Amino acid sequence: MNELSRWTLALGAATFVAASSHAAHAADSVVIGDIDDMSGVYADVEGAGGVEAINMAIADFGGTVLGRKITVLSADHQNKPDIGASKFREWADQQGVNLVLGGSNTGVSIAMAKVAAVKKVPFIVIGAGGASLTNEDCTAYSVHYVYDTTALANGTATAMVNAGNKTWFYLTADYAFGTQLQDAAAKVVEAHGGRNLGAVRVPLGAADFSSFLLQAQASGAQVLGLANAGTDFSNSLKAANEFGITRTMKPAALLAFLTDIHSLGLKTAQGLYLTTAWYWDLDEQTRAFAGRFFARIKRQPTMDQAGAYSATLTYLKAVKAAATTDADRVMAQLKKEKINDMFTQGGYIRADGAMIHQMYVMQVKTPQESKYPWDYYKVVRKMSGEEAFGPLTGRCPLAPK
Amino acid sequence: MRATIVLYVLLGLLALSLPWLGVYPVFLMKLLCFAMFACAYNLLLGFGRMLSFGHAAFFGFAAYVTSWLITAHGAGPATAALCGMAVAALLGVVIGGLAIRRRGIYFAMITLALGQLVYFVCLEAPFTGGENGLQGVPRGTLFGLLPLRSDRVMYYLVLAAFVAVFMFIRRVVHSPFGHVLRAIRENETRAISLGYDINRYKLLAFVLSAALSGLAGSLNSLVLGFATLSDVQQSASGEVILMTLLGGTGTFFGPVVGAAIVITLQEYLSDVVGGWVTAIIGVIFVACVLSFRRGIVGEIEALRLRRTRPGAAGPAAHA
Amino acid sequence: MSTILGIPVPVILGQLTLGLVNGSFYALLSLGLAVIFGLMGVVNFAHGAFYTLGAFAALLGLQHLGINYWVALLLAPLAVGLLGVLVERLLLRHLYGLDPLYGLLLTFGLALIVEGSLHQVFGASGQSYPVPESLSGALNLHFMFLPLYRAWVILASVVVCFSTWFVIERTRLGATLRAATENAPLLQAFGVNVPLLVAATYGGGVALAALAGVLASPVVLVNSHMGTELVIVVFAVVVIGGMGSILGAIVSGLVLGVVEGFTKVIYPEASNIVVFVIMALVLILRPAGLFGRE
């Protein structure tokens, strides 16, 4: 091999040593990272609005904790577990991250939880739904904050079966979240005397639902259980209308966010039952937060964005109370205190990491019932945290029954 | 000659000391794995002139096999990696056997389609975990003696593997087999008329390339601790083509340089320009194809050739 | 309800009909690919990107310029076709003397640029394009409700495909185009402006892709990746049909769409890969493709 190319190689190697050994964080700031879906099917549910919510929480807390500045990092995991896990690991190794928030995708969150356990960094899952995060996939450092598939099924499926919709067929997003949601709903349906007739798995972010919907219709079930979320949910519902599926089957929105209802419009979404942890129009506190959020983002906050705010605040309070950012002590503190803020009253973090708080079963208003912009829900039932999330299953080694 | 040895020693020392100089070892290991992948790919493209568009199938599928063997069957890292490589070789026999029936563009399109088939298999097959992939794969202990949890220890293992593969490829290219392969590349008809069974040679080159790509994928999954769909996706195939093209096909250090540039760009450029990375990589690709076809190392060697022998043209693939 | 193989007939018919819709897209796209390959020898990896551009042109035209669907159906392919001509003149032209693999690589790079840029500007999740008023509603076919729009897609694709085939195989213009592939210098000696013809061919081929994109916008979400996976399937379709055979591309596209639909009924997990498996079989048994001439 000739000399010139070898020297080039050596030079190149040296250059990138210089480039890559960049200085990391300022050792005395508290680093909060948000790894979320910023551009894909869940981008509107948390995404950039979530980062804004985190910033609002930091400002409301005072901007510093234990005399240290607070830095916020954010990254887009693009719904890919490898990107989420790699980013988490990199921030832990190179940026000294103290807390990671986010998720919005169960598969990615499971991957990140595993990194959290290895790197010993508290990880608060906001948008992901899979209940396995507090069961088989639980770790000593992960907290599941806003909702999970158990709570969703206990809310929506119960409401619908009790209203007489007994036979179910599922359109399921083919990854951890979808399958867990389907399983949870199926259990509830059977427990209340209904029957599950089958399911079809759809790739995440599928562009065309028509052939899957035809299979659903062929089953003859009364209910089309939509075990998906985000734009998958809106699109499958729209397609179901287009193909006349909704003439014979009632859609069950097993997970729907305010932003989904907004993009669907009340004409299409009216009458849907859904379960949510938080709604902007519940009381004075929620409206106050929503007003400030709306001023910046121009949309009302979803439960995930409110959850991101609350989780950040809760973490900072725990750090202050424990007088340290040491992961183990902070985690112990988090599981000790009750959480009281605009997101929840009397919420608490259980041994398996689940944040137990009240959940609401809502029904989407008809266009006539809605009096002002974003006036979409009416409360059907309020569930206590214990009822919504159920008892400890014992499947998490940290929290035996 | 002495200068060569000195340079190799210097490079070697640099490589050995990089983790101590503050460079992120995981990034380095990822780079080494992709450099290995690119070198294996170059064996096929540079020395055999066969443009495979679905090579990520070998890289990714081996990653899945390795991860699965460790998580589901508790295999040790060496066993799992070698099995990954073996499976990739087998896959190479199947895909190569089908693709070699056609030449040039058709060959490329067939590898593209078959690579996509492997992607869908990985998406649907129960053992791969679908969209979630296989997560939390522990590195284990090498031969039950050396724990690999430390990034630095793992780095030296990967570096050793990379050097071994690199030297092996050099040996292959300079062997009689390598000479016949290059003869086939230059003039297939003449090689046939000389009595060589060209399909056998091409298939062997394909399988070797597939096996080494598989080894790269297995090591990559050990480094990062997971195997996901990104490893078998079309974009990964495109990336390795870019790395080889950018660095210089038909040279030895070309793919390494190309891999270094692309991985570094992706890692650090995305912090600066965010999602524009893909488009920028596309621009580099187009620029390479239009006016930079010999790649960086290729251009350098051509320059050198022109200086020592005025009037000579074309890169010489010797090192 | 009567059944075949244990599956109710309405379900089979429903999936076959949907398969025909997909097949229409395959046919249109493989037609464009076959035209470009047959007449230029270039494998246009950017075909999926031009399809995506057609859809975005329709979407943006509606959002910013108020251009309705029917006008977009004409303007978008025209605009994208012109872009194609530019691409051919400025970029592809430099590669004609070289190994055809470089053409493939160049168009691959182009696809990355287009898709990467669209992804960055518009995000990964799609935007919906409304079905035009005159085509909304559904036909009650008894075994399923077929949205009127999808019936229109089938009709439009078939008409465009066969018109293009007719032009190329049966008219004087087509004969000139075919002559250009046989012997360009000779044709040029006859006074035909061959470079212009080649540029127009590339532009025409990608215009077909853009047309498919406009047709697709009300059906799928318009997003930056809509062309990527689709184009790989279309490549397989063209290999099956026989590269360079226009009729082969059209027929293969339609048939394979229907086969895929059928697979969704009897063995849904394999529906993604059935086209590739068929391609592998064709390669073993008849490497030139079903309609290929080699």
Task: Examine residue B303 and state whether it is found in any structural domain, yes or no.
Answer: no
Q: Which residues of B touch C100 (CB under 8 A)?
A: 104-105
Of the partner residues B275, B281, B289, the one whose CB lies closest to the CB of residue C102: B289
* pTM, two decimal places: 0.85
Written as one string, the DSSP assignment of A300-317 is PPPHHHHHHHHHHHHHHH
From the number of C-beta atoms within 10 Å of its C-beta (0-12, 13-18, 19+), residue C184 rates as middle
Query: Could you tell me how many CB contacts below 8 A there are between chain A and chain C?
Result: 60
ipTM for the predicted complex: 0.82
Closest-CA residue of A relative to C272 is A203
A39 interfacial to chain C (CB closer than 8 Å): yes
B103 interfacial to chain C (CB closer than 8 Å): no
* The A167-173 sheet, strands edge to edge: A195-202, A167-173, A223-227, A250-253
| Stretch A322-328: mean pLDDT | 92
Task: Examine residue B11 and state whether it is found in any structural domain, yes or no.
Answer: no
pLDDT attached to residue B309: 66
Provide the CB-side half-sphere exposure for B62 (13 A, CA).
34
CA distance B45 to chain C (A): 11
pLDDT attached to residue A23: 41
- Mean pLDDT across chain C, nearest whole number? 86
Q: Which residue has the higher pLDDT, B161 or C180?
A: B161
CA distance B67 to chain A (A): 14
pLDDT attached to residue C1: 53
- Structural domain of residue B78, as residue ranges? 22-249
Task: Examine residue B262 and state whether it is found in any structural domain, yes or no.
Answer: no
pLDDT tens digits for range A27-65: 588 999 999 988 777 888 888 899 999 999 999 999 899
- Region of A99 (left: φ > 0; alpha: ψ -120 to 50; beta: rest) is beta
Of the partner residues A8, A13, A81, the one whose CB lies closest to the CB of residue B226: A81
pLDDT tens digits for range A261-301: 888 888 888 889 999 999 999 999 999 999 999 999 888 99
A8 interfacial to chain C (CB closer than 8 Å): no
pLDDT attached to residue C279: 87
Pick from A228-232, B34-38, C161-165: least confident: A228-232
* pLDDT of residue C58 exceeding 70: yes
Q: Which of C170, C201, C206 is nearest to C187 (CA)?
A: C201
Domain count, chain B: 1
pLDDT attached to residue A248: 87
From the number of C-beta atoms within 10 Å of its C-beta (0-12, 13-18, 19+), residue C294 rates as exposed
pLDDT tens digits for range C116-128: 899 888 876 677 7
Q: Which of C111, C94, C92, C131 is nearest to C51 (CA)?
A: C111
pLDDT attached to residue C46: 93
Q: Which residues of C touch A231 (CB under 8 A)?
A: 125-126, 221
Q: Do C18 and A230 touch (CB under 8 A)?
A: no
Chains that touch B (3 or more CB pairs under 8 A): A, C
pLDDT attached to residue B314: 46
Band of the pLDDT at A24, cuts 50, 70, 90?
very low
Of the partner residues B10, B260, B296, the one whose CB lies closest to the CB of residue A16: B260
CA distance A383 to chain B (A): 31
Query: If chain B, 319 residues long, is cut into consecutive pieces of 10 residues, what is the mean pLDDT of each piece?
Result: 73 83 86 95 90 94 95 90 96 92 82 90 85 85 84 90 93 91 87 88 94 96 91 89 90 90 83 78 88 83 76 47
Q: Do C115 and B278 touch (CB under 8 A)?
A: yes
Q: Do A86 and B224 touch (CB under 8 A)?
A: yes
- CB contact residues (below 8 A), chain B span 181-210, against chain A: none
Of the partner residues B3, B257, B301, the one whose CB lies closest to the CB of residue A12: B257
- Mean pLDDT across chain A, nearest whole number? 88
Chains that touch C (3 or more CB pairs under 8 A): A, B
Note the maximum CA span of chain A: 81
pLDDT tens digits for range A232-247: 888 899 888 888 888 8
| Stretch A147-156: mean pLDDT | 92
Task: Examine residue B52 and state whether it is found in any structural domain, yes or no.
Answer: yes
A81 interfacial to chain B (CB closer than 8 Å): yes
Written as one string, the DSSP assignment of A252-271 is EESS--HHHHHHH-HHHHTT
Q: How far apart are CA B249 and CA B47, in angstroms?
A: 8
- CB contact residues (below 8 A), chain B span 40-99, against chain A: none
| Stretch C56-65: mean pLDDT | 91
Task: Examine residue B297 and state whether it is found in any structural domain, yes or no.
Answer: no
Radius of gyration of chain C (CA): 19
- CA distances from residue B140 to B149, B222, B225, C195 in whole angstroms, order as listed: 7, 9, 11, 62
Chains that touch A (3 or more CB pairs under 8 A): B, C
Q: Which of C217, C194, C219, C246 is nearest to C67 (CA)?
A: C217
Strands of C58-170, DSSP E: 138-140, 145-147
Q: What is the dihedral of CA A205, A210, A211, A216, to 10 degrees?
A: 100
Per-residue tokens: C74 = 């004409």
Task: Examine residue B266 and state whether it is found in any structural domain, yes or no.
Answer: no
pLDDT attached to residue B297: 83
From the number of C-beta atoms within 10 Å of its C-beta (0-12, 13-18, 19+), residue B153 rates as middle
Q: Do A214 and C15 touch (CB under 8 A)?
A: yes
Q: What is the dihedral of CA A311, A315, A321, A326, to 10 degrees?
A: 160
Q: How far apart are CA C260 and CA C22, in angstroms?
A: 9
Of the partner residues C123, C145, C219, the one whose CB lies closest to the CB of residue A208: C219
- CB contact residues (below 8 A), chain C span 109-128, against chain B: 109-117, 119-120
Instruction: Find residue A223's DSSP bridge partners.
Output: A168, A250
pLDDT tens digits for range A347-398: 999 999 999 999 999 999 999 999 999 999 999 999 999 999 999 888 999 8
Terminal C-alpha separation, chain A: 67
Interface test with C, best of A210, A219, A235, A268 (most C CBs within 10 A): A210
Task: Examine residue B275 and state whether it is found in any structural domain, yes or no.
Answer: no
Interface test with B, best of C273, C278, C281 (most B CBs within 10 A): C273
Number of H helices, E strands in chain A: 15, 16
Q: Which residue has the higher pLDDT, A202 or A100?
A: A100
Q: Do B289 and C111 touch (CB under 8 A)?
A: no
Q: How many CB atoms lie within 10 A of CB B101?
A: 14
Q: Which residues of C touch A243 (CB under 8 A)?
A: 138, 144-145, 147
Of the partner residues A14, A21, A176, the one whose CB lies closest to the CB of residue B22: A21
Provide the CB-side half-sphere exposure for B164 (13 A, CA).
10
* pLDDT of residue C262 exceeding 60: yes
C-alpha angle with apex B283: A1 to C78, nearest 5 degrees?
145
Q: Which residues of C touch B285 (CB under 8 A)?
A: 105-106, 108-109, 112
Q: If DSSP states are collapsed to H, E and C, what string results for chain B?
A: CHHHHHHHHHHHHHHHHHHHHCCCHHHHHHHHHHHHHHHHHHHHHHHHCCCCCCCHHHHHHHHHHHHHHHHHHCCCHHHHHHHHHHHHHHHHHHHHHHHCCCCHHHHHHHHHHHHHHHHHHHHHCHHHCHHHCECCCCCCEECCCEECCCHHHHHHHHHHHHHHHHHHHHHHHHCHHHHHHHHHHHCHHHHHHCCCCHHHHHHHHHHHHHHHHHHHHHHHHHHHCCECHHHHCHHHHHHHHHHHHHHCCCCCCHHHHHHHHHHHHHHHHHHHHHHHHHHHHHHHHHHHHHHCCCHHHHHHHHHHHHHHCCCCCCCCCCC
Q: Which residues of B touch C243 (CB under 8 A)?
A: 106
Q: Do A41 and C125 touch (CB under 8 A)?
A: yes
pLDDT attached to residue C39: 76
Task: Examine residue B93 and state whether it is found in any structural domain, yes or no.
Answer: yes
Q: Do A243 and C226 touch (CB under 8 A)?
A: no
Q: Which residue has the higher pLDDT, C84 or C102?
A: C84
- A167 within 8 A of A197, measured Cβ to Cβ: yes
- CB contact residues (below 8 A), chain B span 3-62, against chain C: 51
Interface test with B, best of A20, A86, A104, A109 (most B CBs within 10 A): A20
Say which residues have a Cβ less than 8 Å from residue A67's Cβ, sequence separation at least 6: none
Q: Pairing relation of β-strands A167-173 and A195-202?
A: parallel
Q: Do C125 and A243 touch (CB under 8 A)?
A: no
Q: How far apart are CA C62 and CA C275, in angstroms?
A: 35
- CA distances from residue A185 to A151, A154, A167, B241 in whole angstroms, order as listed: 10, 7, 12, 46
B150 interfacial to chain A (CB closer than 8 Å): no
Closest-CA residue of A relative to B8 is A6
Residue corresponding to tokens 């000659």: B1
